[in-house]
Structure formats: C-alpha cells, structure tokens
Amino acid sequence: MLLLVAGCQLAPVYSGGSAGVAARGLASVEVGEIADRSGWLVRDRLRQRMGGGAPVYRLEVRLDDRIDGFGVRGDNSIIRERRTLRARFQLVELANGKVVLDATAAADAGIDVVTSEFAVVAAEQTVLERLASDVAEQIVARVALQMQGGQIQGGGAARP
C-alpha cells in the first residue's frame, strides 16, 4: 500500500508559497479586458490573484451571462430564475501569440422571484458577484494546475 501512495506523485499546487511554480506562473499572467459588468467583476477577481510580475502570458476571457426564468404561477408569472455565467478562456503566450491553454469555466445559481422588483434586482446582482468569484477561482485554479503540472511555465516556454 505504501508503494502505491509513494508512486502517485501528488503535490500541492501552491507548494513553495510565492516562490513556487504556480505562484510565479500566475504572476506572469496579465488579464485582458472583459466586456460588460460581469466581465468587470471577473477581471477584478482575476487581477487580485494574477499578475504583478513581468507579463509572459495574456489571459483572454469571453463570458456568457444568462438569466432564464422557470417555475410559473397560475397567472403565468415566473417564480424562479437561474443565472448562469460561463467563461471561455485562453492563455496566450505574448512572445509568439501561441494559445497554451483553451478551456471553459461555469457557475450557476437560482434566484427566487418575489413581488418586490428591487429585491429581485438586488438578488440578481448579488448572485452575479458570487458567480464572478466562482468562475474566476476556477480559471485561476486551472491555470495554476497547468503551470504546476509542467504543461506551461511561468518563464514563458512550454515544456515538452
């Protein structure tokens, strides 16, 4: 049993703290502009976790933010909404424009539709903030995992 565990080569992504492979790699990523309010929220959270060093990569993100109604009362009014935030992101090497990571992230949440329009709008905005954080964390985790795993490096060269 010990031989099996020793051979699995599990390692914490953020081992080494700020001097670790993942942290150095994340510091080398600049985050491109992202359209709309949802884009501003996601970009803000990404910039809190990435960048700060000499940029080697640019993270390009395209979002799809949707609110769908479901659950209908007898008067055909909607009683529940689902807000979905999906992101397609690409990590592009600045030196040559090569895409080194192309992936997606998504999060969704339900919202009760009440009689107060103000309460519904406030709930939609609160949910958007939470979804933006969730999507940004997924993106950061995926980029850090790729860098830690050796598929891409903070120095800019992809490993074979």
pTM over the 0.95 mark: no
Residue-wise pLDDT tens digits, 4-38: 445 555 455 544 555 566 778 899 999 999 999 99
pLDDT band (50, 70, 90) for residue 149 = low
Domain ranges of the chain: 17-149
**Which architecture characterizes domain 17-149 according to CATH?**
2-Layer Sandwich (3.30)
And the tokens for 160? Answer: 């074979």
pLDDT in tens, 85-116: 999 999 999 999 999 999 999 999 999 999 89
CB within 8 A of 12, min separation 6: which ones?
none
- Chain segment 74-86, per-residue pLDDT in tens: 788 888 999 999 9
Residue-wise DSSP of 40-66: HHHHHHHHHHS-SS---EEEEEEEEEE
